[in-house]
Structures are given as C-alpha cells and as structure tokens.
Amino acid sequence: MVTNTKTNIYKATHKTRQPLNHEIRDQVIPILSHLLADTSDLYFQVKEAHWNVKGENFIALHKLFDDVADDITEYIDEIAERIAQLGGQVHGTLQHASRSSRLPTYPESITTGHDHVDAVSKALAQFSDNARQGIDDTDEFGDPVTADMLTNITGGIDKWLWFIESHNL
C-alpha cells in the first residue's frame, strides 16, 4: 500500500458529491498519484526509446514504441481524471513524476534495439506490478471503479510488454 508520510498533498481537497466516502478517497488518491507519476515516467522512457533506437529492426521498433507511447498518454489522462473525480489535486508535472516515480531509471547511453527493448520491458513490467498492487489496494479499500480502471490499464500494459519483449526472445 502506498502512503505519503511527508505531506498530505494526496488528500481529497476539493468538494465533490462523489458518493465514495472521504476516508476511502483519502486512501485511493495517493495510490493513483503514485501511479500517475509512474505512468508519466513510463511515457518518457518509451519516447526515449522511440527517439534513440538504432540498428536492426529500427522502423518496427520505432513505430512500436510510438504506439505504446500513444496508449500511455490515454492512461495518464484516465488516472489524472480519476484523481480529480475523487476530489484530489492532480500533480502531473514532469518534476513531480521525477521525484515520485517508482520505475527503474532509464539508461541514457543505449542505442541498440535489443537494449531499448530490455529497458522498456523492465519499465513496463515494474509499472504492471505497481498497478496490480493498486488494483488490490483500491479494491480492498472499497473503490471497485478505480480497481476496474486500473485492471483495464494493466491489461493494456501487459499486451505492450508482450509485444515489446517478444523482440528479444
């Protein structure tokens, strides 16, 4: 379970008629906020691969990474909008993502398709693991709508992980 002991920036702060009680929302918003940071970081890691991949299978990987990034932008928006629906303040800046992401750091000097596939696969797998924990936690806290949203996002991420890591098998 994700908790933020330093500040209460992840509490429900905006008035809403959202029927989910305040205590549940205060538990769910931090989970979503950390996943938003992870998703934003994931987007830029995939774009890093898209921009810098060289060598064998260049065009296939270049296009694949771009398709993945396109889907991730939708996931970013879904997560951010769910935070807002629950009365939370969305923290979607690159600076916040950099401070809060739980994904592995992307290697900055790689260029081969094999290395980018490996790095992106690691990031996708970690995101999937983080999202699965979010599914379990939000379901346990009593927010099946958020759990369902995260289940759909995780299904998409798992599909992209399969597509990408198949290049290195």
pLDDT at position 17, please? 78
Q: Is residue 11 part of a domain?
A: no
Q: Is residue 41 part of a domain?
A: yes
pLDDT at position 15, please? 74
Q: Is residue 132 part of a domain?
A: yes
CATH of the domain at 94: 1.20.1260.10
pLDDT digits (tens, 9 = 90+) for 33-83: 999 999 999 999 999 999 999 998 999 999 999 999 999 999 999 999 999
Phi and psi (nearest 5°) for 112? -75, 150
Nearby residues of 30 by Cβ (< 8 Å), 6 or more positions away? 2, 3, 4, 10
Q: Is residue 1 part of a domain?
A: no
Domain count, the chain: 1
Q: Is residue 9 part of a domain?
A: no
Q: Is residue 89 part of a domain?
A: yes
What string of DSSP letters covers 115-147? Answer: HHHHHHHHHHHHHHHHHHHHHHHHHHHT-HHHH
Range(s) of the domain holding residue 80: 22-168
pLDDT digits (tens, 9 = 90+) for 80-107: 999 999 999 999 999 999 999 999 999 9
Q: Tell whether the model's pLDDT for residue 1 goes beyond 80.
A: no
